[in-house]
Structure 1
């Protein structure tokens, strides 16, 4: 038995759920997995390394077996190599991270992919956040500027918005205890190709750990379309989380470069009792007036709290004012990101 064979390998991502509804995602990809390499500040090497993430060979139709405790489930990789398992556990599943593996037997040998499942604590609130231009400075409104930002910096040098990590830390601890933090789900237009890259960015930025729900993997000839996903795809991923955790209220966080405000407004109008607040970062001035009016009307019509902000310190103040952050929780303000003014990047 081996973890990988020359023919293909199994790449698993963090899944999520609870006893009655567990989900796990991954890919079956041709060739061996690429080893993790040391980070470098050399821009050319960073560019080559990132481009290589899009040189993938999805393998379709591979029989798969998921093993979860004493249970086994069968499936196959989809046309693009994507793996999706959804099942119900026959034993209680405590909150925390749990190991799971998926295997495939080919020509008499078995390959195994190992992953983890995120089971949130039962808390009052859950948080669903976009990534690009909500947490991470990405210039998503301009394709070539987004690609330059992506390819120029290793994960340890990607710039986050000032104080965004502190805002999310405070939210994760609001109305709960440190041993049972509020869950975070990161729903992004970024592709599954960037999963490991984003994990490194988030760990380095000390953001709350959570489950990532990314977009369909792309190949090298689709690079100009990276970070672009259809309205319906992101809407369905957010709705899937709400369906999975029907007893929690959620806070939605995004920005106004693409469609976050419209998607969140649609969800909040449909399920106003499930949405505690909507936060939209103002980073794209051509949409500022439209977004401000959209959120004003949403709060007026539904009572769902809405915050349209540029600086995370303003979002922290708003969160405190509506009880998402407890009054005694003081932010550890970290100032502007290195090399950036405090209100970066309004010139997209």
Structure 2
């Protein structure tokens, strides 16, 4: 009787493994091939910030949102099954310029593209390609298009946290946070009552030429949740804006979601302020984690640039500490509103002259 050779058995096992893997990824709507993910960027008259992630495995956009806990769990898990494409060479075309940059170990890339001629305010299309050298020629591995915001000169711009600032997340309690994250989706998650009305009021305050005040959403949540958060914001009618999140996490780190380094969040806010030196800002956050401390540091460094600080009351144990921090902010001449309900924040915006009803 003929004996099967080891290489043949190995090939059979490998083919079977690859087949199972392929069907599993297809079932989860994962694409196991290179893809460029471009996040919304921002710019001014001198520089355009283009950033994104180069992935070798990515999740297809979700098109159906159901109430099934099982489907919502799978929908979240697949966002943490993405895999980065480290150290890829990226070719960026923006503002009539073409530059090259390299993705980091996590597949994230960020480039500052110099502007030859200032672009008008509004959203502008950028194109990014992953390229490889083959026989002395560039081959496009993957490509994608994204958008960059050039804000108009507004009365103020807004920088807002996400979790527990406008999106109910229970960040202070790990089990509650995981329960809502794992069992709900971008269409079944809830914003705080009245928060959308407040944000719209701020966006449309003193609007000119039909342009709204710009919004920047800065969070410790990971880039894995980018599409999830954008879809939630769109579904609930929040002002369109730029999102700055934290590095990608893998599935083994899902229990640590939303627990990014807060110093990096401070630096992301600083980059926004430095990009618009003539612009004043409103800061919006909550008391579940480090927003009060971060915003106090921002005020210390940019006192004249901050018009107001809004902090939502969510975590009772942090209230004494938060009140003390906000008293320091007010002592520096920046008004604060520490509120339990968005209606209070909205009224404060009117009474302080930031906007009108």
For normalisation by structure 1, the TM-score amounts to 0.89
Return the alpha-carbon distance in structure 2 between the equivalents of residues 64 and 120 of structure 1. Answer: 26
Q: Name 1:323's counterpart in structure 2.
A: 353
Tell me if 1:283 matches 2:314: yes
Q: Name 1:17's counterpart in structure 2.
A: 43
Tell me if 1:211 matches 2:276: no
Q: Name 1:161's counterpart in structure 2.
A: 192
Instruction: Give me the CA root mean square deviation.
Output: 1.5
Contact 1:9-1:33 at 8 Å conserved across structures: no
Tell me if 1:303 matches 2:330: no
Return the alpha-carbon distance in structure 1 between the equivalents of residues 55 and 267 of structure 2. Answer: 25
Tell me if 1:237 matches 2:268: yes
Return the alpha-carbon distance in structure 2 between the equivalents of residues 270 and 179 of structure 1. Answer: 32
Q: Name 1:335's counterpart in structure 2.
A: none
Return the alpha-carbon distance in structure 1 between the equivalents of residues 221 and 239 of structure 2. Answer: 19
Return the alpha-carbon distance in structure 1 between the equivalents of residues 348 and 57 of structure 2. Answer: 49
Task: Give 1:290 shift.
Answer: 1.4
Return the alpha-carbon distance in structure 1 between the equivalents of residues 61 and 240 of structure 2. Answer: 23
Task: Give 1:85 shift.
Answer: 1.2
Tell me if 1:128 matches 2:159: yes
Runs of 4+ in structure 1 over 6 Å off: none
Task: Give 1:236 shift.
Answer: 0.3
For normalisation by structure 2, the TM-score amounts to 0.87
SS at match of 1:73: strand
Q: Name 1:46's counterpart in structure 2.
A: 72
Task: Give 1:219 shift.
Answer: 0.5
What whole-Å deviation, never above 9, does each CA across 1:244-292 have from its counterpart, x for those lacking one? Answer: 0110111100000000001101111222101101000010000111111
Contact 2:91-2:100 at 8 Å conserved across structures: yes
- Structure showing greater relative contact order (alpha-carbon pairs closer than 8 Å, 6 or more residues apart): 1
> What are the equivalent positions in structure 2 for 1:144-293 lying under 5 Å apart?
144-177=175-208, 179-293=210-324
Count how many residue pairs are aligned between Structure 1 and Structure 2.
Answer: 322
SS at match of 1:203: helix
> What are the equivalent positions in structure 2 for 1:54-73 lying under 5 Å apart?
54-73=80-99
Contact 2:80-2:250 at 8 Å conserved across structures: yes
Task: Give 1:32 shift.
Answer: 5.3
SS at match of 2:83: coil
What whole-Å deviation, never above 9, does each CA across 1:123-163 have from its counterpart, x for those lacking one? Answer: 12010000000001000011121111112112111110001
Q: Name 1:34's counterpart in structure 2.
A: 60
Task: Give 1:19 shift.
Answer: 2.4
Return the alpha-carbon distance in structure 1 between the equivalents of residues 283 and 140 of structure 2. Answer: 45
Flag the structure with higher helix content. Answer: 2
Return the alpha-carbon distance in structure 2 between the equivalents of residues 37 and 47 of structure 1. Answer: 15
Q: Where in structure 2 are there 5+ consecutive unaligned residues? A: 1-30
Contact 1:100-1:114 at 8 Å conserved across structures: yes
SS at match of 2:277: coil
Q: Where in structure 1 are there 5+ consecutive unaligned residues? A: 330-348
SS at match of 1:157: coil
